[in-house]
């Protein structure tokens, strides 16, 4: 068996980026027209992967980001590295594996089932998600000196629960990276409970809770907290997960609530000794004409992380999360084009009425040259 090609030495780039995102990305195939996977004859290729989605959105928002992963030494691996690099993400720590393939997944439009017994059928609004990632290059990630150094090369390390489900080696790596020790980067974790990836195991939810407890900033959907842990609302999630300094509970279109130790609140990136009391801040989501729900959670995390890096208030961080999510929701694939920072800052500072009047529609795709055009599509009645 051929050895995995070594990545460049990472030591020279200690903390040289704002955010490192570590996890598997896949080439994604979405049906070119309506229908079930059993029926549709052709697909559009894209890229997907929770962590690289966050990296791409953060890079578009002007932050220095690095994606750490493994892909096959194949054409799909080339495509992923090229596509993710084109967003401005550093891919120098991505290793190419000549023996294992790049992961692939097929997905129809609609919401993802996060319940083991989804209430709606595939002819309703639930997506069919078919993974071809077992034995993939990324699933061979495991603890090691190079990956550890790369993971620690930013101010923030962003991880998700998806990685923990990929293999025993990936789980061991996640456990290592979420172990608390002095001097580590701020560790951010999106629970991303993927029922399909945990099938055949009984302890997925326990593992996810264990990993979340080792992190500084945790994102979870109220629906996935209910499906994974049987917790009924945001307050119950906080009661069950008091360890993270910052906990964000998302409620889709209804908004999101952040619980933060007071020291971790406005302005601070680094956190300090927890106090018993939390700051609790909620913000309603934007009104959005949804094109495709996929990628909204990743985009939300990117917006919140961007606000964290910029030292914005908790309320502004939530609103930047909602704005980034809206960009993803109004694009067909995982990634949308985020609003320009000047616009986002102005909208994030609106009063409740002004925010309520914003409405985002389709059209937030494309390249930076379309920024003016995109901003014109936002019905901003406050100007």
Ligand X SMILES: Nc1ncnc2c1ncn2[C@@H]1O[C@H](COP(=O)(O)OP(=O)(O)O)[C@@H](O)[C@H]1O
- Chain positions contacting ligand ELE, by CB under 6 A: 48-50, 53, 162, 194, 294-298, 334
Q: Name the token pair of 159.
A: 């991880």
Alpha-carbon distance values, 115 to 13, 160, 181, 227, 375 (Å): 42, 18, 35, 6, 37
Q: Which residue has the tokens 């908004």?
A: 255
55 vs 256, beta carbon nearer ligand X: 256
Give the shortest CB-66-to-ligand ELE separation in angstroms. Answer: 18
Give the shortest CB-298-to-ligand ELE separation in angstroms. Answer: 4
Q: How many other CB atoms sit within 10 Å of the CB of residue 160? A: 30
Alpha-carbon distance values, 147 to 150, 213, 242, 252, 347 (Å): 5, 22, 29, 34, 38
- In the 8-state DSSP scheme, what is residue 33? S
Give the shortest CB-221-to-ligand X separation in angstroms. Answer: 4
Q: Name the token pair of 194.
A: 């993927």
Please, which of residues 241-280 interact with ligand X by CB under 6 A?
A: 250, 252-253, 256
Q: Name the token pair of 137.
A: 């290059």
Q: What does 126 interact with, of ligand ELE, ligand X, none (CB < 5 to 8 A by kind)?
A: none
Q: Does 63 bind ligand X (CB under 6 A)?
A: no
Binder of ligand X out of 84, 234, 260, 288 (CB under 6 A) = 288
77 vs 293, beta carbon nearer ligand X: 293
Q: What's the angle, vertex CA 307, arms to CA 314 and CA 231, rounded to 5?
A: 50
Whether residue 51 contacts residue 189, with contact meaning beta carbons closer than 8 Å, is answered with no
Backbone angles phi, psi at 367, to 5 degrees: -115, 170
162 vs 228, beta carbon nearer ligand ELE: 162
Q: What does 374 interact with, of ligand ELE, ligand X, none (CB < 5 to 8 A by kind)?
A: none
Give the shortest CB-322-to-ligand X separation in angstroms. Answer: 4
198 vs 259, beta carbon nearer ligand ELE: 198
Active site residue 298: yes
Catalytic residue among 97, 278, 298, 334: 298
Binder of ligand X out of 87, 106, 229, 300 (CB under 6 A) = 300
Binding mask 197-236 for ligand X (x = CB under 6 A): ------------------------x---------------
Phi/psi zone of residue 317: left (φ > 0), alpha (ψ -120 to 50 degrees), beta? alpha
Q: CA 3 to CA 73: how far, in whole Å?
A: 12
Q: What does 194 interact with, of ligand ELE, ligand X, none (CB < 5 to 8 A by kind)?
A: ligand ELE
Give the shortest CB-269-to-ligand ELE separation in angstroms. Answer: 24
Task: Starting at the earlier edge strand, list the strands of the sheet with 217-221.
Answer: 65-68, 17-22, 154-160, 186-190, 217-221, 246-250, 256-261, 278-283
Q: Does 322 bind ligand X (CB under 6 A)?
A: yes
214 vs 295, beta carbon nearer ligand X: 295
Q: What does 50 interact with, of ligand ELE, ligand X, none (CB < 5 to 8 A by kind)?
A: ligand ELE
Give the shortest CB-299-to-ligand X separation in angstroms. Answer: 7
Alpha-carbon distance values, 3 to 25, 95, 219 (Å): 21, 11, 36
**Any idea which residues carry the catalytic annotation?**
298
Binding site residues, ligand X, CB under 6 A? 221, 250, 252-253, 256, 285-286, 288, 290, 296-297, 300, 321-322, 325, 329
């Amino acid at each position: 068996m051929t050895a995995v090609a070594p990545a460049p030495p990472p030591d020279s780039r200690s903390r040289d980026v704002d955010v490192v995102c570590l996890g598997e990305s896949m080439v994604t195939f979405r049906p070119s027209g309506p229908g079930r996977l059993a029926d549709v004859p052709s697909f559009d290729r894209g890229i997907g992967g929770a962590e690289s989605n966050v990296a791409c959105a953060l890079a578009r928002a002007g932050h220095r980001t690095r994606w750490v992963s493994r892909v096959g030494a194949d054409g799909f691996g080339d495509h992923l590295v090229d596509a993710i690099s084109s967003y401005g993400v550093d891919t120098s720590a991505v290793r190419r594996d000549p023996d294992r393939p790049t992961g692939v997944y097929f997905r129809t439009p609609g919401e993802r089932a996060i319940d083991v017994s989804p209430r709606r059928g595939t002819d309703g609004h639930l997506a069919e998600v078919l993974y071809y990632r077992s034995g993939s290059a990324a699933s061979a990630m495991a603890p090691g000196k190079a990956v550890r150094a790369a993971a620690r090369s930013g101010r923030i390390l962003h991880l998700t629960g998806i990685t923990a489900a990929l293999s025993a080696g990936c789980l061991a790596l996640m456990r290592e990276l979420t172990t608390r020790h002095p001097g580590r980067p701020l560790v951010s974790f999106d629970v991303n409970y993927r029922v399909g990836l945990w099938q055949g195991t009984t302890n997925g939810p326990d593992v996810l809770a264990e990993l979340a407890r080792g992190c500084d900033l945790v994102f979870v959907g109220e629906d996935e907290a209910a499906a994974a842990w049987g917790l009924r609302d945001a307050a119950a999630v906080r009661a069950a997960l008091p360890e993270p300094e910052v906990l964000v509970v998302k409620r889709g279109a209804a908004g999101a609530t952040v619980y933060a130790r007071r020291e971790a609140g406005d302005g601070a990136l680094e956190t300090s000794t927890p106090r018993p009391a939390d700051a609790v801040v909620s913000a309603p989501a934007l009104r959005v004409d949804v094109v495709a729900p996929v990628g909204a959670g990743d985009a939300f995390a990117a917006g919140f992380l961007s606000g964290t890096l910029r030292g914005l208030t908790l309320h502004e961080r939530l609103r930047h999360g909602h704005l980034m999510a809206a960009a993803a929701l109004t694009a067909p694939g995982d990634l949308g084009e985020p609003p320009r920072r000047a616009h986002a800052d102005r909208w994030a500072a609106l009063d409740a009425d002004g925010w309520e009047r914003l409405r985002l529609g389709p059209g937030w795709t494309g390249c930076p040259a379309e920024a003016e055009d995109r901003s014109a599509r936002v019905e901003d009645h406050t100007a």
